[in-house]
Amino acid sequence: EIVLTQSPATLSLSPGERATLSCRASQSVRSYLAWYQHKPGQAPRLLIYDASNRAPGIPARFSGSGSGTDFTLTISSLEPEDFAVYYCQQRSGWPPLTFGGGTKVEIK
Amino acid sequence: QVQLVESGGGVVQPGGSLRLSCAASGFSFSSYGMHWVRQAPGKGLEWVAFIRYDETSKYYADSVKGRVTISRDNSKNMLYVQINSLRVEDTAVYYCAKDTVSASGIAYYLDFWGQGTLVTVSS
């Protein structure tokens, strides 16, 4: 099973700042990685798929990069609604699908 | 618009069983694989099970294999998961989610999710 490790666990930033989230895979997942945003009491939302493709309706301030074992989600300028938990997910090692442990982006 | 609405959660004693349902609308349900994903209190997301669009293949996480059965009724646009021999560690919010790719036998990504239904396993 491919293990995804996200860092940091918590990111404390102010609105307008840039957020950089990391996801590292235990073995290569090629570009088969997605990012999700999850707010308490809400359904998770797909942000990025295949490492760098924004899902429909996702603002341009969200971008993904990386391949192989190291991936990054960047939020160029944090909006108030961006404070949430973010998860990466891989499909290369299917089955199973696996998720990272999450990074919480909180207001500083 | 795509809607997924889960139901069937509740409080169950250890060793008990529960069937969760997910009502789907707003897309061609019979064309997409579907997933169940759970989130235990204070924990991250954990993939539980996947069923192919035509129900010919099913996959399970090792943590639930042998205790969980995923199924679907394409005539009713419904997804189900039966969980038997419930354990305290099965306590979680259970989400149903739609896969991104139509008519595929493998899983890709999850582009629409429900709000979840809470399952609490406690004596």
Structure tokens at A58: 């996702």
Beta carbons of B45 and A89 less than 8 Å apart? yes
Per-window interface: B 63-82 vs A, CB < 8 A:
none
Strands B78-83 and B68-73: antiparallel
Q: What percent of chain B has pLDDT over 70?
A: 100
Q: A99 CA to chain B: closest CA distance, Å?
A: 6
Give CA–CA dist B38/B83, Å, rounded.
Answer: 12
The answer to whether A19 and A78 are in contact (CB under 8 A) is yes
Q: Is the pLDDT of residue A101 over 90?
A: yes
User: Shortest CA distance to A30 belongs to which of A2, A58, A59?
Assistant: A2
Considering only CB atoms, B111 lies closest to which of A55, A91, A99, namely A55
CB–CB contacts below 8 A, A to B: 63
| Mean local confidence (pLDDT), B102-106 | 84
- Cβ–Cβ < 8 Å for B37, B45: yes
CA distance B123 to B106: 38
The predicted-structure confidence for B58-92, as pLDDT tens digits, reads as follows 999 999 999 999 999 999 999 999 999 999 999 99
Give the distance, in angstroms, between the CA of residue B107 and the centroid of all CA atoms in the same chain. Answer: 14
| pLDDT tier for residue B95 given thresholds of 50, 70 and 90 | very high
Which of A86, A97, A98 is the best substitution to test chain B (most B C-beta atoms within 10 A)?
A97
Where residue B57 falls among pLDDT bands split at 50, 70, 90? very high
Full DSSP string of B97-123? EEEEEET-SS---EEEE---EEEEE--
Note the pLDDT of residue B103.
Answer: 87
Contact B81, B49 (CB under 8 A): yes
Residue B37 · residue B116 · CB < 8 Å:
no
pLDDT of A23-80, one tens digit each?
A: 999 999 999 999 999 999 999 999 999 999 999 999 999 999 999 999 999 999 999 9
The tokens for B113 are: 């999710």
CA distances from B34 to A11, A65, A82, A102 (A): 32, 27, 27, 23
**Residue the block writes with tokens 């295949």:** A50
Q: Which two tokens stand for residue A57?
A: 């309706």
Put simply, whether B85 touches A (Cβ < 8 Å) is no
pLDDT band at B9 (very low <50, low <70, confident <90, very high): very high
pLDDT of residue B107: 84
pLDDT score recorded for residue A92? 93
Give the model confidence (pLDDT) of B26-47 as tens digits.
999 999 999 999 999 999 999 9
Task: Copy the structure tokens of residue A28.
Answer: 């290569």
CA A52/CA A57 separation, integer angstroms: 15
Q: Is the peptide bond before A40 cis (omega within 30 degrees of 0)?
A: no
pLDDT at A58: 98
Share of residues in chain B with pLDDT > 90 (%):
93
Q: What is the mean pLDDT of residues B94-101?
A: 96
Q: What pLDDT is recorded for position A56?
A: 96
**Which pLDDT score is estimated for B102?**
86
The whole-number pLDDT of residue B104 equals 84
Q: What is the pLDDT of residue A93?
A: 86
Top residue of B27, B35, B37, B45 to mutate, by most chain A CBs within 10 Å, is B45
B44 contacts A101? CB cut-off 8 A: yes
Q: How far apart are CA B4 and CA B69, in angstroms?
A: 19
